[in-house]
Structure 1
Amino acid sequence: MPDFSPTQYAVPAFVLLVLIEMIWARYKRPDAYEPRDTLVSLAFGTGSTVAGALFGGFAFWLFIKTYEFRLFDFGEEWWKVWWAWPLAFLLDDLKYYWVHRAGHRIRWMWAAHVNHHSSQHYNLSTALRQTWTGNFTFGLLFAIPLVLLGFHPFMLGIVAGFNLIYQFWIHTEAINKMPRWFEAVMNTPSHHRVHHATNPLYLDRNYAGVFIIWDKMFGTFQPEVENEKIRYGIVKQLGSFNLLWAVFHEWIGMLTDIWSAPWKHKLSYLLREPGWTHDGSRETSDMIRASWQERTQSKAPEPLPTDDGQTA
């Protein structure tokens, strides 16, 4: 049985690439890095590793127990079944799309995932803003169907590691666009910049991990538009470089809402989309986008009449 963690081997490359991007930013984009923001991102990465070591054991135990009820068996030497690896990678990326989408549409999961979006800067260090509290959501349940199909938890852990490594390089403004064929199939810096934007046009779009085709298949794709300058972060910005506030602010907000809400609405504050309120005092991403579209359309110029009395 292989004992291999691809992310451990990738860490030196991560550090090197961040340093290279810092040099690029110094001459090309001085505002791309903010020292305090970068330190928070590095602390997020360190804390996420510790949290995974402390709380990841339950997920692994659950997957191993579930594996006993698998529908298909790849044999005792499952790691030698070559065709299972690319299939596992593809299916794991599809699973990631739905976990990620749920992380934006279910407040309980958003409380953990918001960490990754909390920076108002977009650079390679932002990729290190990984959750400390993801193990306290039900995101791990999305992997259960893959385990039941016969993919060993170790195999899923390895392909998920490569998926995470791929996503590192797309957190940059140093790359504008990749070749058209690549942009059509793969997730890229351009596609992922959209995902990190707070502009109404871009909110809750491009959930892909590796393959952007999932967003195109399920109606959540939005290309980056040249005349729509991206604003990064979250709708209600942190306004602070306090690490613990960055980690736990949405958990505090969610629990506060649940505590103060009428009994019939308490569960909705856990399972409805971020921004939902029973009294309409805040806005969801769908509401923000609808308001923006209404304003945009109201500002559109009236069509000019043509010679035949029709409008152009």
Structure 2
Amino acid sequence: MALPNPTDLAVPGFVALVLIEMIAVKLTHPQRYEPRDTLTSLGLGLGSVVSGVIFGGLLGGFALAVWQYRLFDIGWQWYWFVIAFVADDFFYYLVHRAGHRIRWLWASHVIHHSSQHYNLSTALRQTWTGAFSMGILIKLPLFLIGFHPAMLAFVGGINLIYQFWIHTEAIDKMPRWFEAVMNTPSHHRVHHATNPRYLDKNYAGVFIVWDKWLGTFEPERADEPPRYGIVKNLGSFNLLWSAFHEWVAIAKDVWAAPTLTAKLGYMLMPPGWSHDGSRDTSEIIKARWLQRQQREQQLGSDAWKKPISSSSAADQAAAPSPVA
């Protein structure tokens, strides 16, 4: 059954909304858009489309080959599309989480996080090397169950369209019931943040319930605005460097690694892992931050417990009373 590609149909709408947001935000918060950053995002989006045309057939052929060994024959009735959408979103969560925990997959996904701005153009900052990283392997159970690759590609496209609008600071919070179930701009701002509190949180595509169920949810806090980008920002708007910098870094690390185990570690362990412990993973960053938080809380608690000296008491007695 031939199905259209929803994302291809949505591209004109994406561009129009980016322009509308850019004009609106320029009048109120001009710092949220940086022209060079926006151009880089648009260039990465265009490159992703080209990459999809080149490699999409290979991935589709691989998926069809796996689908031949399916356990069930799932039809094309509308309700199967609904079930496929929910199932695909859960597996999107798994792929997305793996993309932050396995460096080989992170090398493709890091492109999406490399902007230090958060606006609708950031949503277009997509990978050129997704086929090479082979994250599709995590979705093999869906093909083996019996969902046709074309059906999954269709609902996956709708998933990506949904995710476009959540890349904005122009929307604060949605209604509480919506925030409880769905992914929103507030939830996804957390995901793009480098604050230690927010690292490796909110992997959801459409339904935030996966994060709440599996312990990776973190709400956005008004007293801690997100800082966007990656732990070590690129410091460049070079299009090719944005697309391939992590692959270059992996190649250098693997080449210099002293053992086979270390070489594999630089490909398969979380970003920031090193064979000698000289770098920081997100776990180390968060643990150090938590220790600092606990230390500051303890110091604050101890300050209240200190007895007031006689001179301090006299000073306080002489001090004027506060004006109501």
Per-residue CA deviation, residues 252-283 of structure 1 (Å, 9 max, x unaligned), is 11111111011131101110000011111110
User: Identity over the aligned pairs, expressed in percent?
Assistant: 63
TM-score by length of structure 2 reads: 0.91
CA RMSD of aligned residues (A): 1.2
Name the residue aligned to 1:166: 162
Does structure 1 retain, via aligned residues, the 8 Å contact 2:3–2:154? no
| Residues 143-292 of structure 1: pairs in structure 2 closer than 5 A | 143-263=139-259, 264-292=261-289
Name the residue aligned to 2:31: 31
Mapped partners of 1:285, 1:157: distance in 2: 32
* CA displacement at 1:151 relative to structure 2: 0.7
Mapped partners of 1:120, 1:49: distance in 2: 23
Say yes or no: does 1:69 pair with 2:72: no
Computing the radius of gyration from Cα coordinates, the structure with the larger value is 2
In proportion to residue count, which structure has more helix? Answer: 2
| Residues 75-90 of structure 1: pairs in structure 2 closer than 5 A | 78-79=75-76, 81-90=77-86
Name the residue aligned to 2:50: 50
Name the residue aligned to 2:132: 136
Mapped partners of 1:138, 1:157: distance in 2: 15
> Which of structure 1's runs of 4+ aligned residues deviate more than 4 A?
none
Mapped partners of 1:88, 1:3: distance in 2: 14
TM-score by length of structure 1 reads: 0.95
* CA displacement at 1:138 relative to structure 2: 2.4
SS at match of 2:112: helix
SS at match of 1:201: helix
* CA displacement at 1:83 relative to structure 2: 1.5
Aligned length: 302
Name the residue aligned to 1:22: 22
* CA displacement at 1:143 relative to structure 2: 1.7
**Structure 1: unaligned runs, 5 residues or longer:** 306-312
